Amino acid sequence: MVDTVAYERISARLESQHVTLVAVSKTKPASDIEALYAMGQRDFGENYVQELSGKQPQLPADIRWHFIGHLQRNKVRFIAPFVHLIHGVDSLRLLETVDKEAARAGRRIDCLLQVHIASEETKFGMDAGEIRELLMATDTGRKLPNVRICGLMGMASFSHDHLLVRREFQGLKSLFDDLRSGLMSSCDYFSILSMGMSADHETAIEEGSNMVRIGSLLFGVR
């Protein structure tokens, strides 16, 4: 069930904070997406290629689809024709594949590099050193003309330790600021910091997030 009251409240607050709301609709039916679309929401996030490529043709063409899951290289081609932003790029090889598939689709695809900030082993992402290496190897993305590296994404630990979560967000924000003033200083599009989910988005925003990915608060538990 879509919680339209929560949507009104959350979207108004985020708009006043200049934070982009990505409504995470994974596992939810197209009718739930239509309900928020009717209220003005345009940015939706999905985790699974098969599910996203099934939903996309059934829904309005002006939806901005964010791919927020772990993306396998052999699946990039299914979303390359329409995806708005890929949040989870975690290797040079994946970025190269996105570049190739973007060229094939005749477009440029915006990407975020995923940073591993959580203390858990299971979360995907690169560390700060690997991010810098990737940026050097691609001349801050210029060697891959069909992608644009638009910022960073990270997921904090699933933890009730608020201080730990806050410190992880702070670490990501400081890497983002460092890269923006250094390596990426000539790229005005390097401007997106995607951090924060239902449980931790308020902390993330306090620590400098400008894009949050919210599912269960809007669509109910999965």
Residue 24 or 49: the one with the smaller Cβ distance to ligand PLP is 24
| CA angle in degrees (0–180, nearest 5) for 204-210-215 | 65
> Are 175 and 169 a contacting pair, CB within 8 Å?
no
Q: Is 216 in the site for ligand PLP (CB under 6 A)?
A: yes
Residue 93, number of CB atoms within 10 A of its CB = 9
Which residues does residue 64 pair with via DSSP β-bridges, in sequence order?
43
Binding status of residue 157 toward ligand PLP by CB under 6 A: no
Q: Which two tokens stand for residue 212?
A: 């949050």
Other C-beta atoms within 10 Å of 33: how many? 22
The stretch near ligand PLP (CB under 6 A) out of 34-42, 123-131, 132-140, 192-200 is 192-200
Question: CB of residue 103 vs ligand PLP: minimum separation in angstroms?
Answer: 27
Q: With binding defined as CB under 6 A, does residue 47 bind ligand PLP?
A: yes
Answer for which of 2, 24, 80, 183 binds ligand PLP (CB under 6 A) is 24
* Of the candidates 60, 49, 54, 56, the residue with the CA atom closest to the CA atom of residue 97: 49
Distance CA 193, CA 212 (A): 9
114 binds ligand PLP (CB under 6 A): no
Nearest to 68 by CA among 86, 54, 49: 86
**Residue 214 interacts with ligand PLP (CB under 6 A): yes or no:** yes
What is the total count of residues that contact ligand PLP (CB under 6 A)? 13
Least distance to ligand PLP, CB of residue 133, Å: 23
Task: By CB under 6 A, name the one of 28, 66, 173, 213 that touches ligand PLP.
Answer: 213
Q: Report the distance separating Cα 128 and Cα 38, nearest Å.
A: 40
Element at 98 (helix H, strand E): helix 92-104
Query: Interacting stretch for ligand PLP, rule CB under 6 A, among 5-13, 35-43, 133-141, 195-203?
Result: 195-203
Q: Which of residues 49-68 bind ligand PLP (CB under 6 A)?
A: 68
Nearer Cβ to ligand PLP (68/152): 68
Closer CB to ligand PLP, residue 24 or residue 183? 24
